Structure 1
């Protein structure tokens, strides 16, 4: 071991001693000149493998909307709770029975407390909660962030009338105390009223979070919050720590109807925000439609595989009392559920698409060298798809492959694995290989929430960050993590047993090529952050597209994924919204599934350069020229910072090539 490594270890010990009260003040002062920078410890063992701690898993259960819409009552919910147990789903991990829209007609007593129809709900809502709890299950309820719920704006055929005042606005803490006193464990908060009123998503939901905390102080109970603003306010930037889960899209089915694979895939695509999903907080692509009319068994397996690889909440939406044994076996497959519920709590990411529609997704699992892999064929013909170990952060050494749905071992394969995937389906695998090396950075100060500077990446892209910490308390402690100028994420750190017992949680973060700064910030009593280990996920690597005249990056505002959002310039920060993959098909792909697009295949000066679903169009193909320009293949016009401006927020359009610095770009 080098003297440098000995010094780093000593500094780490001094930090721990200082934090935990040892009389080593002079030694710590002697190291004060080290500041808040990190020391790269390439000889140091990585901070993860044997010390991982499990985080809160994504919620599993059943919800009433997809099958029953607003036609629900005590008997309906009771029958589904019974079926959740008798079908084996409860034993497989499905615990929540969630009552959705339609339970309440917006009536309140003279004190403003919710009143319910006891003809539909004998004994009131507490009675149905008590029954659900008697089955060893947990109970969920529904409300809206605005004055009126979705049933007011979109009443369902044969459902409850369009009753006003079914939202919680103006009664936040009062309603939360009511739900808690009734015994509910989970609350879905919809956005129809908030949307109609033009409320701000982040402000509104954070106020509800605070009201939930205040209600808990009164009742002694708490609610898991599910935020359902449909991704309209880019919740992946701010929702972690506000809710346990947040919707990233609209519904797969709006009313009880036949789902389609197109709508399932669309919701899956919109849910892929890996930097936001970590430490017990989850992107939510909506309730599942497995077992509903219109889907084959193969499509149900693909649907389940999509949700599992993304680590999504598993909330079944089919009729449990009438489902087939095939549907039950799909929903309860232990290996698939284990992938979804993996204790590391991370989201899968796309790591390859060698040909359009032939995609490879990889999810990092707990342990060392463990991956779940989904080979997804979105084309109309069967095709071979190859998963390469290096793309998913493993070495090229032989790895063992298991086909999850067939429950069969495929064997050991060096470098990669190729198999045929039927049209429109997915093959779900687990891979056990060798973890690629990374770099560990250890805090050398006495700070519990330090900053790590000089965290280097050889290429822009998604990285695995393992965080070693101690939490001597009895509950999760929280801290923020900010990478450069990106949005700060709220992380939860479970108890480690003592203030001197160190464990590891993981996040996925977007880093820029070169040097990065990872800054932790305290939220209340902070955990003691000791070290971070950084590993590349090579298949996510891309480049920033940097304007020569501005020094700023091609960017999509607030990490929006909305089609037709115009590209802009912004300070380079390494975020997913600034990391592009230039494919062999001449596309500039961002977020893994969106393309840089010349709006409406325009050929005139001023044509907007926008975000759009990748579709293979010539207006989504770009040429990087030797003179530094980037031209669109439809028009031959140059990628242009509008008006030759250089400020943050400058919009990007197409313009006749003129040699200006606002039309010069480099890839970094």
Structure 2
């Protein structure tokens, strides 16, 4: 949740709540609009026409296979292979040079000096060659003074000065003039120098805009600070994509399923991903030595349900036809590139490590589903339509990898999933009902008050808007006191033509305010209405302290193991929404358990989060008197020193009946 709250909000608008039913035929609203000469012309209800958003980047990146050993010959070879293999035709369009392309020299004016031995015709010629094949070109730099190859040399000696610090706009202008379309900005120098992630990357985004004003050629910005600065809280609308974890594989390692699952788990930040901005779990290992075909398919399935960038890292010139077929599976690519642009979310885990993920797709009643079996045995797994936000009416199911129709099923679908593997499906069913909230003011960026939720959880919000301009416009969205996210609104063709874009938002149980605001320096779209629909499989509960009336919270949406839980004002964020499972766990973020630190049983033991293990120190009993006890120690969940302020740390303590040990599950 945000540590910066909206202050002094004046002029709250009045909204009218309209019941809305959604079926395969589309939305029908009970129009009950106020008639007033002061209102601008708006549609009768939320639009049913979805605007396509920019999909996550697809392409190839050099690091995983070549490390620092890249030159003009390597890049031309991989570019040609991207085309001849059919990957370009399947949607892979970027050829990205990673670390090692530049040896760190600068000319007297500070401009980049290119190594003529590696790039005899210069870097513009490299970008031109990639463009000549109908592709786009990407390049690498670091936010600090030195790139990662300086601190962690691989196939070439460490070269100092390979970062862009002190030359942000100059280097970005250079990349743009060379014709590059995409830049990955690493964090090795930034980390060593102790730079602040948010401040630094926002400065780079501003420098990119300034450079574009000079050259007319904007770069796609890939922020690569490994999730260390919690970019899911601030990077949306500044970067086009941002890394959520450390590298999926280090140079010289053998790829494993565990590596891909770790980065998958760390990339699950659904509120941050929408309208062309993406969480990035890193380049893929698909096709690298050490992975079986089944593991390669699993890898692709994980990334596609995330809606993650698909940047292959294997040697395209030597890959097998099996690898090529996996990388170019058109049904899987369609899930990843879905024009609604949303991330998949976990909607069920009835049995430990048998997990169901659902992704809302463009259209009506369309979902992608990943049944993920993280156990060592084959298992029967079920996806329920209700968990996905669909009705129990019959829905058709298709298996993506076998490219076969499984049939039509009411209520749910069950299949066997192999050990340590997944089944990827598409489901076409009937949308459950939702509620529409209309703006009845002349504001272009209104606040919608009284947005109700019967349970805390992740909700699908369709935003009706008009943008009569020729380029995307921006506005921010904020739910209660949570973090503020920038939303991009593509052109709709005319100021009177309305479309929708979608976001996933975390709502608290009860009444919420969904507030839009203009972005400085950007013309705002005209936002008219929102439609809110539950995704029941994400529902959870807030733990509210009786003494403080504040919620159990993980500061700043951190996902780091051993983070101590604390009290904070209730806002309904994902970091305050817990699932109380039948296994007596209190699960947050879908994969972290409330935990007694180091299996402690003494008074004062920290209450932290940790990857769910099934240990007794992660099991909790909720009692009718409001206490919550740890099953290992029998001690009570306690706000330390009976404090009630924001930031009060949670510990275990002998149950004493005081209100700092009483909790309401809301």
TM range (shorter): over 0.9
1:133–1:600 Cα change, 3 Å: same
Shift of 1:14: 5.8
C-alpha contact (below 8 Å) 2:361/2:368 kept by paired residues: yes
Q: d(CA) in 2 for partners of 1:244 and 1:218? A: 20
- Partner residue of 2:162 out of 163, 166, 169: 166
Q: d(CA) in 2 for partners of 1:620 and 1:317? A: 38
Structure-to-structure mapping, 1:123-522, within 5 angstroms: 123-156=121-154, 159-522=155-518
Shift of 1:161: 1.3
Q: Which residue of structure 1 lines up, in the alignment, with residue 92 of structure 2?
A: 94
Q: Which moved more, 1:655-664 or 1:568-577?
A: 655-664
CA displacement, residues 305-351 of structure 1 (integer Å, 9 cap, x when unaligned): 00001100000000000000000000000000000000000000000
Q: Which residue of structure 1 lines up, in the alignment, with residue 24 of structure 2?
A: none
Shift of 1:9: 2.7
SS in 1 for 2:390: coil
Q: Which residue of structure 2 lines up, in the alignment, with residue 55 of structure 1?
A: 53
Q: d(CA) in 1 for partners of 2:40 and 2:279? A: 35
RMSD across aligned positions (CA):
1.5
TM-score of the pair, normalised by structure 2: 0.94
Shift of 1:114: 0.5
CA displacement, residues 470-493 of structure 1 (integer Å, 9 cap, x when unaligned): 000000000000000000000000
SS in 1 for 2:516: strand
Shift of 1:254: 1.2
Asked if 1:9 is matched to 2:33, the reply is: yes
SS in 2 for 1:76: helix
Q: d(CA) in 2 for partners of 1:372 and 1:70? A: 38
C-alpha contact (below 8 Å) 1:67/1:256 kept by paired residues: no
Q: d(CA) in 1 for partners of 2:651 and 2:146? A: 41
SS in 2 for 1:16: coil
SS in 2 for 1:275: helix
Q: d(CA) in 2 for partners of 1:267 and 1:167? A: 26
SS in 2 for 1:179: helix
Shift of 1:177: 0.5
- Partner residue of 1:548 out of 546, 549, 558: 546
SS in 1 for 2:564: coil
Q: d(CA) in 2 for partners of 1:249 and 1:3? A: 41
Q: Which residue of structure 1 lines up, in the alignment, with residue 601 of structure 2?
A: 603
Asked if 1:655 is matched to 2:656, the reply is: no
C-alpha contact (below 8 Å) 1:149/1:192 kept by paired residues: yes
Shift of 1:12: 8.9
SS in 1 for 2:74: helix
C-alpha contact (below 8 Å) 2:477/2:515 kept by paired residues: yes
Q: d(CA) in 2 for partners of 1:200 and 1:634? A: 40
Q: Which residue of structure 1 lines up, in the alignment, with residue 26 of structure 2?
A: none
Q: d(CA) in 2 for partners of 1:329 and 1:365? A: 23
Q: d(CA) in 2 for partners of 1:269 and 1:13? A: 51
Q: d(CA) in 2 for partners of 1:459 and 1:6? A: 24
SS in 1 for 2:272: coil
Q: Which residue of structure 2 lines up, in the alignment, with residue 526 of structure 1?
A: 524
Q: Which runs of 4+ in 1 moved over 6 A?
A: 2-7
Structure-to-structure mapping, 1:26-105, within 5 angstroms: 47=46, 50-105=48-103
Q: Which residue of structure 2 lines up, in the alignment, with residue 38 of structure 1?
A: none
Q: d(CA) in 1 for partners of 2:217 and 2:294? A: 42
Shift of 1:100: 0.1
C-alpha contact (below 8 Å) 2:18/2:436 kept by paired residues: no
Shift of 1:118: 0.7
Q: Which residue of structure 2 lines up, in the alignment, with residue 108 of structure 1?
A: 106
C-alpha contact (below 8 Å) 1:68/1:256 kept by paired residues: no
Q: d(CA) in 1 for partners of 2:153 and 2:36? A: 61
C-alpha contact (below 8 Å) 1:12/1:530 kept by paired residues: no
Q: Which residue of structure 2 lines up, in the alignment, with residue 576 of structure 1?
A: 574
SS in 1 for 2:40: helix
Shift of 1:626: 1.6
CA displacement, residues 26-84 of structure 1 (integer Å, 9 cap, x when unaligned): xxxxxxxxxxxxxxxxxx86x35x31010000000000000001111110011000000
SS in 1 for 2:270: coil
Structure-to-structure mapping, 1:553-632, within 5 angstroms: 553-632=551-630
Aligned residues: 639
1:353–1:154 Cα change, 3 Å: same
1:378–1:338 Cα change, 3 Å: same
Asked if 1:122 is matched to 2:120, the reply is: yes
C-alpha contact (below 8 Å) 1:12/1:443 kept by paired residues: no
Shift of 1:116: 1.5
1:12–1:642 Cα change, 3 Å: farther
Which consecutive residues of structure 1, in runs of 5 or more, have no partner in the other structure? 21-43
Shift of 1:15: 2.9
- Partner residue of 2:635 out of 634, 637, 651: 637
Shift of 1:16: 2.8
TM-score of the pair, normalised by structure 1: 0.94
SS in 2 for 1:600: helix
C-alpha contact (below 8 Å) 2:18/2:437 kept by paired residues: no
